[in-house]
Structure 1
Amino acid sequence: MRLSDDMIKALNEQIVMESEAASFYLYMASWCEVSGHDGASEFFYNQSDEERMHMLKIVHYINRLGTIADISTIREPPKNLTSLEEIVRTSLENEQKVTKSIHEIITLAEKERDRRTFDFMQWFVKEQIEEEDTVDRVLQKFDVIGRDKLAINEIDKYMKSLSGSGSEPA
């Protein structure tokens, strides 16, 4: 099966988006590590690894269908973040952009009757639901327990508890 030129373009753009997310999470992890938020740092290092895995999943998919994936240059992550809450909020916004992009690929797959890509992208839909829910729960903690130093410490601990699997512990 050959992918359409439009689908190849969309999937290559998704590769860039996943790569940028990995880079952005790596920067977030570094910022948290230097700022003393060890739990959040571990969480974001794991998120960076996950995003890279997502990127590779798409690269392998394109390659298996006989097209060389286009590995383009990515944008540098924003470096003007000042608080853990801002980082988590920015993370949620990024996840929402990724979700929107995935939905656009699925819409294209439906339009082109490309069932193979449609089925392949379903894993990403489920993953994005989990990603957005996890980050949204972290963000809600700021409203529930506060923004003072003790609250930030508790949120950091909570993020550490999420860092193993990217989902809330049982």
Structure 2
Amino acid sequence: MLKPEIANLLNKQVNAEFYASNIYLQLSAWCEDHGLEGSAQFFRGHSLEERTHMDKIFDYMAECSAPVTLEAIPAPPNSFDNLMDVINAAYQHELKVTAMIHDIANAAFDIKDYTTFNFIEWFIAEQHEEEVLFGKILSKAEMLGFTGQPGQQLHIMDNYLRFIKE
């Protein structure tokens, strides 16, 4: 049985992962609307991945007999000036999710809930991978001199995102 403070944090994370899935789906839609099929594919894949994360936490809570409460999910941002704004929005969101995961790990460790701590370690590693991934994307953009404007660099970035393997 999970302690209430851990169950509360995990429940918030279930909802945060659902929101993250919606963010990435919206980013994918923005890319589709702007003819960036490679970027749309990349963000669509991330949307599905976030939904998988939600399911993983949901299942853990169910195994621990902790009730899950799904909350209203706010609409994600949908207006961006260019692909660089989209990429930066995704990166900033990943940093926020990392902080939330660390909060769960810290709380679990503090109250000696080592089962939850062990469970959340997978997410810590996953968030590290996400931050590394977006760091590489931002480095590629910098290397190309890509600021989001139309042109050859936009085409290169769109194709680069299409072929990123996670």
Query: Which residue is 1:26 aligned to?
Result: 25
> What's the CA shift for 1:80?
2.1
Q: Residue 81 of structure 1: SS of its match in structure 2?
A: coil
Query: Which residue is 1:156 aligned to?
Result: 158
**Residue type at the aligned position of 1:160:** R
Q: 2-side partners of 1:144 and 1:95: how far apart?
A: 22
Q: 2-side partners of 1:133 and 1:12: how far apart?
A: 26
Q: 2-side partners of 1:68 and 1:110: how far apart?
A: 21
Deviations 1:26-85 (A, max 9, x none): 000011011011111000000000000000000000001112211111111012212100
**Residue type at the aligned position of 1:9:** N
TM-score by length of 1: 0.93
Q: Residue 68 of structure 1: SS of its match in structure 2?
A: coil
| Contact 2:30–2:78 (8 Å) recurs in 1 | no
Unaligned regions of 5+ residues in structure 1, if any? none
**Residue type at the aligned position of 2:73:** I
Report 1:74-153 matches (<5 A): 74-147=73-146, 148=149, 149-153=151-155
TM-score by length of 2: 0.95
Give percent identity, aligned residues only: 32
Q: Once superposed, which parts of structure 1, at least 4 consecutive aligned residues long, lie more than 2 Å away? A: none
Q: 2-side partners of 1:154 and 1:77: how far apart?
A: 27
**Residue type at the aligned position of 1:102:** I
**Residue type at the aligned position of 1:113:** K
Deviations 1:111-137 (A, max 9, x none): 110000000001001100111111121
Unaligned regions of 5+ residues in structure 2, if any? none
> What's the CA shift for 1:143?
1.3
Instruction: Please state if 1:39 is matched with 2:38.
Output: yes
Q: 1-side partners of 2:59 and 2:72: how far apart?
A: 18
Q: 1-side partners of 2:13 and 2:115: how far apart?
A: 17
Q: 1-side partners of 2:26 and 2:33: how far apart?
A: 11
| Contact 1:146–1:152 (8 Å) recurs in 2 | no
**Residue type at the aligned position of 2:159:** K
Q: 2-side partners of 1:18 and 1:82: how far apart?
A: 25
Q: 1-side partners of 2:35 and 2:49: how far apart?
A: 23
Q: How many residues get paired?
A: 163
Q: Residue 39 of structure 1: SS of its match in structure 2?
A: helix
